[in-house]
Amino acid sequence: MPIPLIQLAGVSKQYGDVRAVDDVTLELEPGEFFALLGPSGCGKTSLMRLVAGFETPDAGRVLIDGRDMQGVPPYRRPVNMMFQSYALFPHMSVERNIAFGLVQQGMAKGYIATRVAEMLRLVKLEGYGARRPEQLSGGQKQRVALARALAPRPKLLLLDEPLAALDRKLREETQFELMQVQRDLGIAFMLVTHDQDEAMAMAQRIALMRSGRIEQIGDARAIYERPASLFAAEFVGEINLFEGEVVQSGEGKFAIVQGGGRIALADDTPLPGPVRIAVRPERMVMSHLRAGSYAEFAGVIADMVWLGDLTVWRVRLSDGRLIRISRSNADAANAAFSRGDQVFVGFEAQSARMLLS
């Protein structure tokens, strides 16, 4: 069995009274695109700095390639970081910035020149080698930072909010470029971001963090479709929440949805008791007539937004709650629903996720 590239075992880090990282255990495979996702202050940056070696854990161990990194300074770790501010050396040309890591390793001049040219080609900045960082646009700086971090062939690249400083259009382009580079080089990437779209678009696996702890680890689909907690359900994507209770009867397990009837559940649903029932907007069903076959609520369409590829409606239920429904505009029936319509919204059992917390 191959050794994981990165192993974090029970890692904790405390700043004053704040547990920035709290007993985190996770593994990264070589060549994996991994994302640490969470709101600001959740500890994702601290965790990344622990891997880079800028911080030392108060408890637990950080292993890179099976080697314990206890006492190993950042300049002896086979990981490189792309800083959020890019941290390009302002007194050096683009070339010298990219060559910096190679110069520190004592590489031969000829090799450095070849490698720098290769990196400039990789980030599509041929001809920019002699420029100073301040002569570059934000997107170009970002690519120089990427080239500089990749030049010494790290085993893992840490990316700290790499797209935060870019405008929307550039951000999307860069997303694809980063994924392309990652696939081509086969280097493991660890992306730190607060942007769920960014994490979901790029990463093969996501660790969702909250107050220093890992809330859930999985691929984007797993976290989206099967959130492990209320926090995960709300942080990633849009969600509708209903109160309910799981009950066991002779016919099997059911969820009684408050004010909306009951739905049959699979037998492996956890213990009976009160639950939050989470349903994604695109999993909601909406019609002008009562269907009766699933959990259902009467309401009025409060507003609708046409987004090109899909339409989003918000339906106000009789108790005042707003429910969000989205449907692809490929569905011609969408035209029938407009503001003020009396509708029935609901969900089927397989669309719902029972959450305990």
Partner 1 sequence: MSLVKKTRGVGDGGLAANLGRRLVLIVPYAWLILFFAIPFLIVVKISISVQRDGRPPYEPVFELADGFIGAWESVQKFSMESYAAIYADRIYGDAYISSVWIAALATLCTLLIGYPLALAMARAPRRWRSLLIVLAVAPFWTSFLIRIYAWIVILKDEGLLNHALISTGLISEPIHIYATQGAVLIGIVYSYLPFMILPLYNALEKQDTALVEAALDLGATPFAAFRQITWPLSMRGVIAGCLLVFIPAVGEYVIPDLLGSDEVLMIGRSLWDEFSTARNWPGAAAVATVLLVLLLVPIVAYQRSHLQTHGAAR
Residues that bind partner 1 (CB under 8 A): 52, 54, 73-76, 79-81, 83, 85, 87, 89-91, 100-101, 104-105, 132, 134, 148-149, 152
- Cβ proximity to partner 1: between 15 and 176 the closer is 15
Locate all alpha helices (DSSP H) within the chain, ordered by sequence. Answer: 44-52, 94-104, 109-122, 138-150, 168-185, 196-202, 220-225, 230-235
- Cβ proximity to partner 1: between 125 and 158 the closer is 158
- Cβ proximity to partner 1: between 79 and 188 the closer is 79
Min separation Cβ 151 and partner 1, Å: 8
Min separation Cβ 52 and partner 1, Å: 6
Give the Cα separation of 158 and 9 in Å (integer). 19
- Cβ proximity to partner 1: between 40 and 75 the closer is 75
Min separation Cβ 111 and partner 1, Å: 15
Distances (CA, A) of 329 to 224, 280, 313: 22, 17, 12
Q: Tell me the two tokens of residue 2.
A: 């191959």
Give the Cα separation of 279 and 348 in Å (integer). 9
Burial 309-327 (b: 16+ CB within 10 A, else e): ebbbbbbebeeeeebbbbb
Min separation Cβ 103 and partner 1, Å: 9
Tell me the backbone φ, ψ of residue 242, rounded to 5 degrees: -130, 150
Instruction: Identify the sign of the CA torsion 241, 242, 246, 250.
Output: negative
- Cβ proximity to partner 1: between 124 and 153 the closer is 153
- Cβ proximity to partner 1: between 70 and 342 the closer is 70
Min separation Cβ 88 and partner 1, Å: 8
Min separation Cβ 49 and partner 1, Å: 9
Min separation Cβ 127 and partner 1, Å: 19
- Cβ proximity to partner 1: between 69 and 323 the closer is 69
Q: Tell me the two tokens of residue 284.
A: 């909601």
Find all residues with CB under 8 Å of 270, minimum gap 6, and list them: 246, 354, 356
